[in-house]
Amino acid sequence: MVPKLLLLQKLQAAADRRYGVGSGRRYQLPHRHPSAAGRFTACFVACLLALAAVTTFALALTLHRPDPAAAYAASPRGGGGYAVVINTWKRYDLLRRSVAHYSGCAGVDVVYIVWSEPEEPTEDLRRSILNCSRWGGGAAAEVRLVINTEDSLNNRFIPIQGLTTDAVFSVDDDLIVPCSTLRFAFGVWQSAPSAMVGFVPRMHWLADPGSDTKEYRYGSWWSVWWTGTYSMVLSKASFFHRQYLDLYTNHMLPSIRDYVNENRNCEDIAMSFLVANVTGAPPVWVQGRIFEIGSSGISSLKGHGLQRSRCLNTFSAMYGHMPLVATTVKAVDSRTSWFCIVRLAYLCA
Ligand SMILES: *[C@@H]1O[C@H](CO)[C@@H](O)[C@H](O)[C@H]1NC(C)=O
Ligand SMILES: *[C@@H]1O[C@H](CO)[C@@H](O)[C@H](O)[C@H]1NC(C)=O
């Protein structure tokens, strides 16, 4: 406030000198405008100066940006970190790549691989993925296999023996989230540890908002993009508290797990319902680029939207109400928001 006032006073003094205005009208800006060309030049120069200043500042920031990873590295493993739980299905090449990636991210305590195939992993595969932990020069996280005898989509939410962190990052084997983005999302989760915090938002829409019948439609990425509204973040790339593993497996309605099992779909919607019913709050969507390294998931199959809508309606009938809560809040890493410099040009135009 004070510097602004000082600046105003200086400007006023300058204007007074130029326009010969008396001291009785101190805080009135002059009514006469300089010529349009003069104004444009002044503005242009001001914009250039501002741009140069911000660029320098951003550069300095990039060079001397304090690294939050240092804090995690200093604390013992399990203390302030999170576990990565990778759900995989017969895509060994992708699995190798994602294990190598996540085990090298700072803050990762252990990488768990949820294995649901009828055959146990071969000795070859075991060696190559468990050895990932040594790729990062010793600093990488430990990798562990969780072998399930039954093939079920519910497996990814079975509580893990020996899990020591509160935070779990659940991810599909074909999704790569850059370490820095992951670290930022973990920070968001720490501020809201009861919420699901993730990168893939989805929405439930009323099929006919005017009528009394509550029929829901699954809103894919496009509807979220268009409206900025979402009510779920999918468990194929999201943080949540480990307590939800226990709630999902041991306390959620068995009929929901059965439905997931039989239809081989919607375990992520079921988890979204569970968390929403516990918290009564929406999830948190984190802005950040994530990379898909394979493209044979079920979401590319025809009729996917229809199946997902049926899950919404079945689950909400089982709950007796719709627990999902919609929101438009999005978490953005403010270190990257200086790109909004473009707005400055608007101020001058
Ligand atoms: C890791 O690879 C090395 C050789 O590259 C091998 O000697 C070692 O046994 C492997 N470790 C595991 C746990 O498989
Ligand atoms: C939803 O939450 C309510 C209140 O916390 C609880 O009583 C109910 O059992 C939950 N519903 C399901 C299906 O878990």
- For the chain, give the percent of residues with pLDDT over 70: 70
Pocket probe mutation, ligand 2, options 275, 277, 279, 322, max atoms within 8 Å of Cβ: 277
Query: What pLDDT sits at residue 75?
Result: 44
Task: Calculate how far, in angstroms, residue 103's C-alpha sits from the geometric centre of ligand 1.
Answer: 16
Share the mean pLDDT of the chain.
Answer: 81
pLDDT digits (tens, 9 = 90+) for 291-304: 988 765 555 555 67
DSSP state of 219: E
254-255-256-257 Cα dihedral, nearest 10 degrees: 50
Of 295, 173, 194, the residue nearest 236 (C-alpha): 173
Ligand 2 and 277: CB distance under 6 A? yes
Task: Calculate how far, in angstroms, residue 55's C-alpha sits from the geometric centre of ligand 1.
Answer: 47
Residue 268 among the catalytic residues: yes
Classify strands 330-331 and 284-286 as parallel, antiparallel or unpaired.
parallel
Do 101 and 171 meet the contact criterion of CB atoms below 8 Å apart? no
pLDDT band at residue 312, thresholds of 50, 70 and 90? very high
Which ligand is located closest to the Cα atom of residue 318? 2
pTM of the model: 0.75
Res 62 pLDDT > 60 = no
Query: What pLDDT sits at residue 2?
Result: 45
pLDDT digits (tens, 9 = 90+) for 192-208: 999 999 999 999 999 98
Classify strands 232-233 and 201-206 as parallel, antiparallel or unpaired.
antiparallel
Q: Which segment, 131-145, 200-214, 263-277, is predicted with the most confidence on average?
A: 263-277
Res 18 pLDDT > 70 = no
Residue of 339 and 145 predicted with greater confidence = 145
Do 166 and 241 meet the contact criterion of CB atoms below 8 Å apart? yes
How large is the average pLDDT for residues 147-165? Answer: 94
From the CA of 274, give the closest atom in ligand 2: 14
Of all protein residues, the one whose alpha carbon is nearest to atom 3 of ligand 2 is 277
Query: Coil, strand, or helix at residue 281?
Result: coil
Task: Calculate how far, in angstroms, residue 250's C-alpha sits from the geometric centre of ligand 2.
Answer: 14
Note the maximum CA span of the chain. 90
Of 303, 331, 315, the residue nearest 274 (C-alpha): 315
DSSP secondary structure string, 42-79? Answer: HHHHHHHHHHHHHHHHHHHHHHH---THHHHHHSPTTT
Query: Coil, strand, or helix at residue 204?
Result: strand
Q: What is the 3-state secondary structure (H, E, C) of 77-119?
A: CCCCCEEEEEEECCCHHHHHHHHHHHCCCCCEEEEEEEECCCC
Pocket probe mutation, ligand 1, options 129, 131, 142, max atoms within 8 Å of Cβ: 131
Would you report the helix, strand and coil content of the chain in percent, each value rounded to 5? Answer: 50, 15, 35
Do 144 and 109 meet the contact criterion of CB atoms below 8 Å apart? no
Helix spans in 131-202 (H): 179-191
Which ligand is located closest to the Cα atom of residue 142? 1
Single-letter code of the amino acid located at 108: V
From the CA of 126, give the closest atom in ligand 1: 14
Annotated active-site residue in 166, 212, 268, 333: 268
Res 311 pLDDT > 50 = yes
Task: Calculate how far, in angstroms, residue 127's C-alpha sits from the geometric centre of ligand 1.
Answer: 6
Classify strands 216-219 and 201-206 as parallel, antiparallel or unpaired.
antiparallel
Of all protein residues, the one whose alpha carbon is nearest to atom 5 of ligand 2 is 278
Of all protein residues, the one whose alpha carbon is nearest to atom 2 of ligand 1 is 131
Task: Calculate how far, in angstroms, residue 147's C-alpha sits from the geometric centre of ligand 2.
Answer: 31
Q: Hey, what are 109's tokens? A: 């305590």
Res 213 pLDDT > 60 = yes
Ligand 2 and 279: CB distance under 6 A? no
Which ligand is located closest to the Cα atom of residue 270? 2
